[in-house]
Amino acid sequence: MSTAIVGARGEAKVISELTNRGWGVGKPLLDLGIDLLAYKIENHSVRLVAIQVKTLATSSHDNNRRYGAQFDAEHIIDGIFYIIVCLDISEYVIIPSVEIRRKHHWHQDHAEWQRFKNRWELIA
């Protein structure tokens, strides 16, 4: 499966999760490092969140490989959320950019991965 298809599937899963939680989601016409813009209106106030999605197609259950994501320090954008999507096990790791800047390599066996796993409330 091509990386473009894997990435599109990951973004679609994130859009579905956010929509189920009452967020409106759009995709920017130009990708400058932001994959999705999510917004929620409550009490006449809008909350806007920028998201970068990193999609992993297979987990460590596949040939005992480690499951993780690497982030290039030069390309980290402050003030956004990074969401790692694990397609085969429907797992999401929702990480504020300040944490990505602090630690560039994330693996499922690290405590930080577990601390941010499925933490959708961080976006709200």
Planar angle of CA 23, 27, 31, nearest 5 degrees: 140
Q: Which domains does the chain have, with CATH numbers?
A: 3-122 (3.40.1350.10)
Question: pLDDT tens-digit profile of 69-123?
Answer: 778 878 889 999 999 998 888 789 999 999 888 876 776 666 777 889 999 999 9
State which H helix or E strand residue 50 sits in.
strand 45-56
Report the alpha-carbon distance of residue 112 to residue 37 in Å, rounded.
25
- Residue, of 9 and 72, whose pLDDT is higher: 9
pLDDT score, position 108 = 65
Place of tokens 């956004």: 80
The answer to whether the beta carbons of residues 18 and 38 sit under 8 Å apart is: yes
Question: pLDDT tens-digit profile of 30-67?
Answer: 989 999 999 999 999 999 999 999 998 865 554 555 56
- Residue, of 22 and 60, whose pLDDT is higher: 22
The pTM of this model reads 0.87
Planar angle of CA 88, 93, 99, nearest 5 degrees: 150
